[in-house]
Amino acid sequence: MRTIGLIGAGRIGGQLARLAVAHGYDVVISNSRGPETLSALVAELGPRARAATAFEAAEAADIAVVTVPLKNCRKVPVAPLAGKIVIDTNNYYPERDGHIAELDNESTTTSELLQAHLPTSKVVKAFNHIYAAELTTHGQPAGSKNRRALVIAGDDQTAKDTVTHLLDEFGFDTVDAGPLKEGWRIQRDTPGYGPRRTAEELRKDLAAATRYADQ
């Protein structure tokens, strides 16, 4: 589990690549425009990083991260991610993504949409409620007082255990919101979305979250 393949290398993807390299992982980064457009980031990241197509990044990944605008999630390659842990950072912004009926009527969640697109992958929602810049500045060693916590959600416990371990390495406690269908509790406009929270605070935020229809 030493290679992280990133589908998307923007604000969140770039920051997760920096964190991964800083913690001894190899990274393969990709975007929509092609590997040649990522040379500056690869140079910054150093010898543990290379750029590739999204398909190649997915193929190389022990753990993959999908961190693209949600409207492009259905372009994520399916076959090379079969059976793999796929971390989903994505959020729904209709002004960016266009309207998606199943999300507007809250019959599903963003991560369940990605899971439906990647039926045999083990999708774990993570890193969706922290500002990109804070990924490299808010991490603290395990056991630090008031350590920041991040929410995960997923349907596969082993995959969630792996992601919990990764978050711990990256400097964060984890709060498990449950299966993917509970991911709405940390969508935009819920109390835990954005601010720095400890695990205890975040658990209260998840419990206090309300559906858009009830806001």
Q: List residues bridging with 123 in a β-sheet.
A: 86
Quick one: which segment of 42-50, 66-74, 138-146, 196-204 binds ligand NAP (CB under 6 A)?
66-74
State yes or no: residue 198 binds ligand NAP (CB under 6 A).
no
Nearer to ligand NAP, 51 or 85 (CB): 51
Q: Which of residues 1-60 bind ligand NAP (CB under 6 A)?
A: 7-13, 30-33, 54
State yes or no: residue 149 binds ligand NAP (CB under 6 A).
no
Nearer to ligand NAP, 95 or 214 (CB): 95
Among 3, 91, 136, 198, binds ligand NAP (CB under 6 A): 91
Beta-strand pair 122-125/85-88: parallel
Query: What does the block give as tokens for 100?
Result: 């998606």
DSSP states of 103-163: HHTTSS-HHHHHHHHSTTSEEEE-SSSS-GGGGGTS---TT-TT--EEEEEES-HHHHHHH
**Residue 145 Cβ vs ligand NAP, minimum distance, rounded to whole Å:** 25
Query: How far is Cα 111 from Cα 181, in angstroms, rounded to an integer?
Result: 8
State yes or no: residue 87 binds ligand NAP (CB under 6 A).
no
Nearer to ligand NAP, 123 or 145 (CB): 123
Query: How far is Cα 96 from Cα 46, in angstroms, rounded to an integer?
Result: 32
**Residue 127 Cβ vs ligand NAP, minimum distance, rounded to whole Å:** 6
> Strand, coil or helix: what is 92?
coil
> Strand, coil or helix: what is 197?
coil
State yes or no: residue 132 binds ligand NAP (CB under 6 A).
yes
Query: Is 97 in contact with 103 (CB distance < 8 Å)?
Result: no
Residues that bind ligand NAP (CB under 6 A): 7-13, 30-33, 54, 67-70, 72, 75, 89-91, 128, 131-132
